[in-house]
Copies of this chain bind each other. A is one copy, B any other.
Amino acid sequence: MNESYYMEVTKKSYSSSANLGPGYDILSLGHKAFFDSVTVKHNNSNGVKIISNSTPEEPDKNTAGLSILKIMEDKGIKTGLDITIKKGVPIGLGLGSSGASSSAAVRSVNELLDLGMGKDEMVYYSMYGEIAACGSAHPDNVSSGIYGGLTLISSTSPVKVKKIDINYNFNLVLVIPDISMKNKTRYARSIVPQSIKMEEHIVHTSRISTMLYGFMKGDRDAIREGMNDDIVERSREAMFPFYRDIKEKVINRNAVSACISGAGPTMLIFADDKTRKDEMLGDIKNVMGSYNTDYSIRETGILEGLDDQ
């Protein structure tokens, strides 16, 4: 029994917004709005025990538990573990809640058991948690919990992630509708078109390229041009009928751009010192009022990297 037996390791993982318009299933941005914290320590059983303030406590139904079970299976680890999850990222709002728990758990276990996993391997295991959340595994939702910042999935098999530099100072504004939908992510994925026209593909490869160029070069206009999506966001408009109005209004108030955060309903606005924020918040109030939808606003910043966590 080594000296780590009595140790415990706690890691935090923050909220994130996947997709960013044209980056469906490949981009994710970590931000500091909310966080989960996960503490891992040995116990005397030979199983995994989940202690949580909100998520399912059966390890095989819990995003963090599934990830840890997969690591232990693959690496032949038999020790018993208590995994204590304090959820701070609200569930079901498109804020990467399931990915936050699993990535924090994977990072904690990696340290406690001295597994020496690299970041891409941790992304790989973290995404197993997504199976619990939406029936299939998507590394985009967890990649920012492992890397921080803006992440690009460059390959899914094997999982490879590129961290994209952001050379622009944003104020992020999250508009979080008070809407709860059962099986939302599963439904949101099911209504995305199964095929698209070649012309749409060309337009959207141009947009994602322009947006990433904009982030890397700090080119406001390029980010604004690129962050538009007529495939995935368009297909989900009936789920979030207020979104087009909100986007039009915030662009008129000179926000840099806006998008649906993950599978929604939260909307992510990229604002800066050129944005007329007070008028923008007034417009948002009017639009959400016209749809009789309660909401909250959370202003936050980009999570730069693991050092913040």
A contact set with B: CB distance below 8 Å: 22-27, 152-155, 160, 162, 164, 192-198, 201-202, 204-210, 212-213, 216, 219, 222, 225-226, 231
**Which of B152, B154, B225 interacts with A155 by CB under 8 Å?**
B225
> Which 10 interchain pairs have the tightest Cβ spacing?
A154-B210, A26-B206, A25-B202, A195-B195, A205-B208, A195-B197, A162-B213, A201-B201, A152-B209, A194-B198
**A143: min CB distance to chain B, Å:** 12
Kindly report which residue of chain B lies nearest to residue A197, judged by CB atoms. Answer: B195
* Chain B residues within 8 Å of A155, by CB: 206, 210, 225
Q: Is the CB of A162 within 8 A of B222?
A: yes
CB-nearest residue of chain B relative to A213? B162
* Chain B residue nearest in CB terms to A162: B213
Q: Nearest Cβ in chain B — how far from A34, in angstroms?
A: 27
Inter-chain CA distance A64–B197, complex, in Å, is 32
Answer whether A162 and B210 are a contact pair too, CB < 8 Å, given A155-B225, A198-B195. yes
- Listed by A's residue number, 13 A-B pairs whose Cβ atoms lie within 8 Å are A22-B205, A23-B205, A25-B202, A27-B209, A154-B225, A154-B226, A195-B195, A195-B197, A195-B198, A198-B231, A205-B205, A205-B208, A208-B208
- Give the CA-CA distance A205 to B209 in the complex, in Å: 8
Inside 8 A of A202's CB, which chain B residues have their CB?
24-26
Q: How far is the CA of A192 from the CA of B198 in the complex (A)?
A: 8
A194 partner residues in chain B, CB cutoff 8 A:
197-198
The answer to whether A152 touches B196, judged by C-beta atoms less than 8 angstroms apart, is no
| A139 CB to nearest chain B CB (Å) | 11
Chain B residues within 8 Å of A152, by CB:
206, 209-210, 213
Neighbouring B residues of A225 by C-beta, 8 Å:
154-155, 160
- The reply to whether A209 and B206 contact each other, CB–CB distance below 8 Å, is no
Scoring A198, A219, A225, A231 by chain B CB atoms within 10 A of each residue's CB, the highest score goes to A198
CA–CA, A154 and B154, complex, Å: 21
A141 CA to B162 CA, complexed, in Å: 29
Q: Is the CB of A209 within 8 A of B26?
A: yes
Complex: how many Å from CA A24 to CA B206? 9
Report B-chain residues with C-beta under 8 Å of the C-beta of A210: 152, 154-155, 162
Q: Are A196 and B198 in contact (CB under 8 A)?
A: yes
Who on chain B is nearest to A219 by CB?
Answer: B162
A25 to B205, CA, bound (A): 10
Contacts of A26 in B (CB 8 A): 202, 205-206, 209
A195 and B193 CA atoms in complex are apart in Å by 12
Q: Give chain B nearest CB distance to A12 CB in angstroms.
A: 27
